[in-house]
Structure 1
């Protein structure tokens, strides 16, 4: 993969959705449905991390006898869970402009060289570590 990014070896990977544009498909939905689907996607991605904590918290709140303590614990959890999303939502316009800038520089020499060099460097380090394990111990 590193040699492909450095354009030493040309290898075309299969692409099944060449003509599919998700933004054009999403434009057919109302904005409320788009927001709901985006929230469902984020929830699906975050649920493996948040479900064990939430299940433990709900179990504790269910066995506690004080509803004020239970409600404050759930409120604290919710506030901490949503806090990183507030700055992201606030800077959504700036993110859109950064993404539009990125779109024009996808074939940038620096980007290709950096990714290819990092992949090859990591692979070379792993290979040398296997050959000479004592030499890389001190790194």
Structure 2
């Protein structure tokens, strides 16, 4: 979490592998027969493009869930991550017709990475400090 937060704050630069960076989905979509196949391939392309951004966060989350050994907490964390990951896509797809008005919010997009980085850095530092200095409970 700390390294990913520092990466989003542009303090540390991570070079993650990027597959199919020179792939043009429009050229491939022109030869496809159905719009269902085109939609599937567009989603697949998006997933491959977003993978370098989401994989470190998901790997950290999966590592934490695996060590917590609590299926309720682990499932809740994974459901929350998935909801947060998919919600912007569902909202954007729902309002595709109003895309021009949504483009006016681009001026706020410069704050997304620093805010996300600060949250990740804060969560990582908290987790690290909690592991180094665990809270002791007093029995009365």
TM-score normalised by the chain length of structure 2? 0.47
TM (norm. structure 1) is: 0.48
Name the one with the larger helix percent: 2
Largest Rg, 1 or 2: 1
